[in-house]
Amino acid sequence: MRTHLLLIFLISLPAVFAAQDDESVCKKAMLKLDFMGAYDCYRDIGDKRLAQATNALGTGDTAKAIELGKDAIRLKAGFGLCFKYYMCGAAAHAATLVSVAYEKTGSKGQAEAYAKRAIMYAKNSGQCEGSAVDEEANVFCALQYYISASSAYRETKLFNAPAECKLLHGNTNPDHLDVVFIGSNFPNDAPFNEYVDKAYRGLLSMQPFARNAHKFNIWRLDTRQDLSCVTEEPRLFSCDRSKITRTASTCPNDVTVVVVNNNEWRGAGFMNENLLYLGMGVPTSAFVHELGHAFAGLDDEYMYSGTDPYTPGSSLNCDTVNTCPKFTSVPGTQCKQECGFANRYRSIDVGMMRVLGNPFGIFDEKIIEQKLSRYK
């Protein structure tokens, strides 16, 4: 492994010298032959670029999304560091993101090229999305990356909805945002169906979703499955990601919502990944909160402990400056200390991302509407 790494790093040296400022730490680690240090360093910077690129795409700045996404790919895969699954997974994500950005600018050929690159990274990853899976699952995962970016998929996805995909709201228009609910470990349909009904009706009665209800297709997968969900922390849990991908691909699925039949477990939203988990132990309004994370990339506005470990400016809904220049131009916003951390500021006193059941607040609504703007 060491020999292999050395070769990779030597080949990469010219590119390293051309690297940007914040890569100087990684560069130093490489020159000291501290491979693991360099690896961690590039991984972290690559993650940062990926988050920034995702944010740029969300705010409609496609040119910036392309630039940052390409940089994320370079950091994740370009240095030959793509020998661990999460690096490839992230490179595939970045390639998908660039593909979507190109698609939005009308560069279909470029979009196609990057979608193919996403498949390649996902296939090369050996593993996909952190779970140990077989080759078949990798292909599914790659397809998932591809279809989320491909306009061809949008044209055909209505044909992919078999009878077990029950349409609860909307129609089969592929330009809508398709949200699919899938259950795990329900012995019969009634409790799942009831939970899903409450959850999506709650969503569509709340702003900014209510005024955008025409952009939604809500699906419920009416088959029973076990998604191998296990306890992670006292009340959190994780499920088998490859099983989810395979199961969700039965129905149109821009956003996948996994509901698990467990009264102890809470919910979780995977930041910008359009995937969320709900345990039955949380009210259905948790669906809206987790969608805030998973679809809109919003941070929690309640307090964690410690200070912000993230890059200043990397949060969409929290400001790092105590006068809140990010919000003040938007009428009706506030500037309240504590937004995940004590050194960040939020735009609403008690919003949905702080306490369940509250409105998002005008600023967070704006962010969500920007994300919704790519759907018709």
Closest CA to 128 of 227, 255, 246, 252: 246
Least Cβ distance, residue 317 to Zn ion (angstroms):
11
Binding site for Zn ion (CB under 5 A): 300
Percent helix, strand and coil across the chain, each to the nearest 5: 50, 15, 35
C-alpha–C-alpha distance, residues 249 and 182, integer Å: 11
- Which residue lies nearer to Zn ion by CB, 86 or 302? 302
Contact 367, 358 (CB under 8 A): no
Tell me, rounded to whole angstroms, the distance of Cα 224 from its chain centroid.
25
Element of type H or E holding 69: helix 62-73
- Which residue lies nearer to Zn ion by CB, 8 or 303? 303
Least Cβ distance, residue 351 to Zn ion (angstroms):
12
165 contact partners, CB below 8 Å, separation of at least 6: 180, 219, 220, 221, 222, 250, 251, 252
Contact 58, 74 (CB under 8 A): no
- Which residue lies nearer to Zn ion by CB, 16 or 303? 303
- Which residue lies nearer to Zn ion by CB, 35 or 270? 270
**What are the angstrom distances between the C-alpha of 48 and each of 70, 95, 241, 293, 315?**
13, 15, 23, 17, 11
Beta bridge mates, 166: 220
What angle, 0 to 180 degrees and rounded to 10, lies between the N-to-C axes of helices 85-105 and 108-124? 170
C-alpha–C-alpha distance, residues 290 and 22, integer Å: 32
Least Cβ distance, residue 267 to Zn ion (angstroms):
8
Torsion-angle region of 261 (φ positive above 0: left; ψ -120 to 50: alpha; else: beta): beta
Least Cβ distance, residue 290 to Zn ion (angstroms):
7
- Which residue lies nearer to Zn ion by CB, 241 or 354? 354
Least Cβ distance, residue 274 to Zn ion (angstroms):
15
Residue nearest to Zn ion (CB): 300
Least Cβ distance, residue 8 to Zn ion (angstroms):
38
Hey, what amino acid is at 195? Y
Structure token pair of residue 223: 């088959």
Least Cβ distance, residue 300 to Zn ion (angstroms):
4
Least Cβ distance, residue 302 to Zn ion (angstroms):
8
- Which residue lies nearer to Zn ion by CB, 98 or 255? 255
- Which residue lies nearer to Zn ion by CB, 112 or 299? 299
- Which residue lies nearer to Zn ion by CB, 71 or 300? 300
